[in-house]
Structure 1
Amino acid sequence: MSTITKISTQKNTSDRYNIFLDEKFAFGVDEEVLMRFQLQKGKELTELEITQIQYEDEIRKAFNASINYLSFRMRSESEIRSHLKKKEWEEPVIHAVLLKLNDRQYIDDLAFASAYVRTQVNGGKKGPGTIKQELKQKGIAGHYIEEALSKYDGEQQIDHAIQLGNKVAKQNSSLSERSLKQKIQQYLMTKGFSSDIISIAMEEVEFEKEDDAEWEAMQAQGEKAHRKYKSFSGYEYKQKMKQVLFRKGFAIEMIDRFLQEKEME
């Protein structure tokens, strides 16, 4: 049995106190723990009580660390667990903290998932596939993900896919129509849109070119290929030029026209 002989406020934190047992410093406690265990000068404590107080104080410190972590943005339960593990708190302490946070509604994985979907839809215009994968990585349960994504309807997805497709088309105007179409489709797939949504969106994306625009793209790519293969001549030159330009999606008739004009220069 030990007796509390002194209680003093810690210098750097006014809500934490130093507990002295039998004239010697024993441990520090949070104000909430101090009040809950009614710690005061002259109170006697058994070894079991001391262990319990210190354990509860660990929970309180981890809880406060979690609140600070949450102050920057919403967090999933899995993110908080990982954060506390990095801070080297033991699993029983982490478990107790997560129970407290859930009881007080400081964490809510469904609300987190819903907010995350809104942010990604409005800001990044990502497809549901990508958002789903990102939420999985944050430890959100599948049923919460599906419920949150149910608010991201097909109409929104098509609209966002069209916007992204038009952006890619504008940035890659030098490509052939076929290559540009492939690039847009691949990009939309990487953004997490389904093949059905992409198919519908491609009907609205402005990737088709007028003949003049396609010829200008052909000339740009042709000159680039010419600089690479100009050291070759005759049949070998033509074959290398045809191969690279055909792979870039240009029609063989247009390639032949470019090569003919090159011969006349």
Structure 2
Amino acid sequence: MADTDDKKAFDLAIRLLGEREHSRKEIITKLERRKFSEAAIDKTLERLDQLGLIDDRSFAEHFVGSRSRKKPSGKYKLRYELFQKGISETIIDEILSDYDSSAHCLDAAMKKFPFLKGDDHYKRKKLYAFLANRGFDSHSIRETLDQIFRS
């Protein structure tokens, strides 16, 4: 019985990893939701580690890269999201140390700006709120807004 449980847990983990990269915590959570035993989950994680299929650092790098392209976010939001996905503070700090918040802030603002209606004061206010909600720091936001509204 335990062997089939182990195999089912491993097969599910492989299927999940085939869809996209997952953090260790995400795999654990999804296996627990499916009511797999702790032993089956441990064996699955051990096997995934041996095969090199689960790596939180690689996951975090891909996550940040993907976010940067699709939905630019600030360090605050990225830090929170990575932490929610079970990535350690050490890895988060290393990954985000090279993150250029100002460039991504400008990118996010330029994507949103054409859809804003109203006068400049209103647009500035809405854009500030949008960027703050995306996790950008106030310095990067002010710098970006000055750049956009200076033109």
Letter in 2 for 1:170: P
Q: What are the within-5 Å matches in structure 2 for residues 79-158 of structure 1?
A: 79-153=26-100, 157-158=101-102
Is 1:163 equivalent to 2:107 in the alignment?
Answer: yes
Q: Unmatched 5+ residue regions in structure 2?
A: none
C-alpha contact (below 8 Å) 1:166/1:206 kept by paired residues: no
Is 1:199 equivalent to 2:142 in the alignment?
Answer: yes
| Secondary structure in structure 1 of the residue aligned to 2:9 | helix
Give the CA deviation at 1:167: 4.2
Aligned length: 151
Give the CA deviation at 1:170: 3.0
Give the CA deviation at 1:207: 7.1
Letter in 2 for 1:195: S
Q: TM-score, normalised by structure 2?
A: 0.88
State the structure with bigger RCO (CA 8 A, min sep 6), 1 or 2: 2
Give the CA deviation at 1:165: 2.7
1:185 aligns to what? 128
Please identify which structure carries the higher helix content: 2
Once the two structures are superposed, residues 201-254 of structure 1 have per-residue CA deviations (whole angstroms, 9 ceiling, x without a partner) of 12201378xxxxxxxxxxxxxxxxxxxxxxxxxxxxxxxxxxxxxxxxxxxxxx
Rg larger for = 1
Letter in 1 for 2:122: S
C-alpha contact (below 8 Å) 1:77/1:107 kept by paired residues: yes
The structure-2 alpha-carbon separation of the partners of 1:107 and 1:178, relative to structure 1 and needing over 3 Å to count, comes to same
C-alpha contact (below 8 Å) 1:77/1:139 kept by paired residues: yes
Runs of 4+ in structure 1 off by over 6 angstroms are none
Letter in 2 for 1:205: I
Q: TM-score, normalised by structure 1?
A: 0.52
Q: Unmatched 5+ residue regions in structure 1?
A: 1-53, 209-265
Please identify which structure carries the higher strand content: 1
The structure-2 alpha-carbon separation of the partners of 1:205 and 1:89, relative to structure 1 and needing over 3 Å to count, comes to same
Once the two structures are superposed, residues 155-200 of structure 1 have per-residue CA deviations (whole angstroms, 9 ceiling, x without a partner) of xx2233223334444322323x323222211111001111111122
The structure-2 alpha-carbon separation of the partners of 1:66 and 1:163, relative to structure 1 and needing over 3 Å to count, comes to closer
CA RMSD of the aligned region, Å?
Answer: 1.9
The structure-2 alpha-carbon separation of the partners of 1:167 and 1:113, relative to structure 1 and needing over 3 Å to count, comes to closer
